[in-house]
Amino acid sequence: MQEFAFELALCAHLERPDRVVGRQLGAAVHGRRVADVCLVEPGPEFDRRAAVTPHTIPPLAIESDAGPGTARPVAEAFDCHPDRARAVAERAVELGFFEREREGASTAVRQTVRYPEQWFDSLVGIENKPDLDRPGDLRDQLRIDASLGLFDEVVLATETYVTGAHLNRLPDAVGVWRFDPETGEREVVREPEPLATDGPGIELLDREPGRAEVRPVTAAEKRRQRRRIAERAYGKGWRTYELPDCERCAPSDAEPADLADARLPWCAWTDGLVRPVADCGPTCPGYEPVDGGDSDGDAEGVPPSEGPEAVRARRSAWEPDPAGVDRRQAGLDRFL
């Protein structure tokens, strides 16, 4: 099965009401590492974070000097280009994380609520490689994850039968799952070892024969990047596609049943999962344009009109319509 389909099937299998699943997330501090899948396990302040916004809170807004107390001018609250600072502040206001005030000729902002740093408990990074006979950059990718320590645990997911030779090529701390996307069965070949997320790490940036370029990463930099990964996973999720506008895209026909419930892009013509942008459209021999109504069929117990956000809300800890937070702190008006 193609890697995209394998990845979607695994995300559907791992999604559950007490966690958040994200896909294709930046997982480097100085380099360009991208994690295929990330599991975000809620922490004690999860409900406080969920109450703010269903979207990703801009990292620069969280890291700015604009706290929940006295409002600060945008130019002073951010350590970046003024145009960038204004754009980030505006987005944070739209999301309800900032509120805006006027201070003379300038704009000032402050947080509507103190950011709940403990909203997530742990992060699990998963690298998908269905065919271990075509490993690509797998070894270096997993070495980056193991030595950097952004994730509490790192796992390799594959469809291949895993041999001792395969295991010997991987860092000892990396766990291994054998996953069958057609049945949803998952076998734990090797349990992952906990990584040291609280301390400093080493990031592999480049490797050539006889030479490796690495860079130390501080504990503070890791904390910041872990928060960014968790925020991005919460706002982005893993359904980063639209179902094709084709009569033969029928998620309710997917097997196993979990794939149907997750509303994945299942094509009845190819009898498998497809990449909507790359595989679907008028150039496909099996394409049949939708003639009114919905193209996603009707899985048992699932309304045919249920969109991706409703499915995600039903199957995960993500809150699509939060109550929000008070936009003005009681008692502060008299000091303005």
Rg (CA), the chain: 22
What is the per-residue pLDDT across 285-295, written as a single tens digit (0 to 9) for each?
999 988 754 44
Measured between alpha carbons, how far is 294 from 166 in angstroms, rounded to an integer? Answer: 45
How confident is the model at residue 301, as a pLDDT?
46
Residues 6+ apart with CB under 8 A from 257: none
Measured between alpha carbons, how far is 238 from 242 in angstroms, rounded to an integer? Answer: 12
Measured between alpha carbons, how far is 77 from 321 in angstroms, rounded to an integer? Answer: 29
Tokens of 34: 């991208």
141 sits in which H/E element: helix 138-148
How confident is the model at residue 106, as a pLDDT?
82
Residues (pLDDT < 50) of the chain are 1, 293-303, 328-336
How confident is the model at residue 236, as a pLDDT?
97
How confident is the model at residue 36, as a pLDDT?
97
In this structure, the answer to whether residues 126 and 199 fall within a common structural domain is yes
In this structure, the answer to whether residues 76 and 33 fall within a common structural domain is no
In this structure, the answer to whether residues 88 and 198 fall within a common structural domain is no
How confident is the model at residue 326, as a pLDDT?
58
- Work out whether the CA dihedral 37, 43, 49, 50 comes out positive or negative: positive
In this structure, the answer to whether residues 153 and 98 fall within a common structural domain is no
In this structure, the answer to whether residues 126 and 221 fall within a common structural domain is yes
Which amino acid would we find at residue 164? G
Residues facing residue 100 across a β-bridge: 109
In this structure, the answer to whether residues 166 and 228 fall within a common structural domain is yes
| Residue 36 near residue 248, CB atoms below 8 Å | no
How confident is the model at residue 243, as a pLDDT?
84
In this structure, the answer to whether residues 179 and 130 fall within a common structural domain is yes
Residue span of the structural domain in which 78 resides: 58-111
Tokens of 199: 């301390």
Let me know if residue 327 belongs to a domain: no
How confident is the model at residue 75, as a pLDDT?
92
Measured between alpha carbons, how far is 24 from 165 in angstroms, rounded to an integer? Answer: 28
CATH number at residue 9: 3.40.1350
In this structure, the answer to whether residues 171 and 310 fall within a common structural domain is no
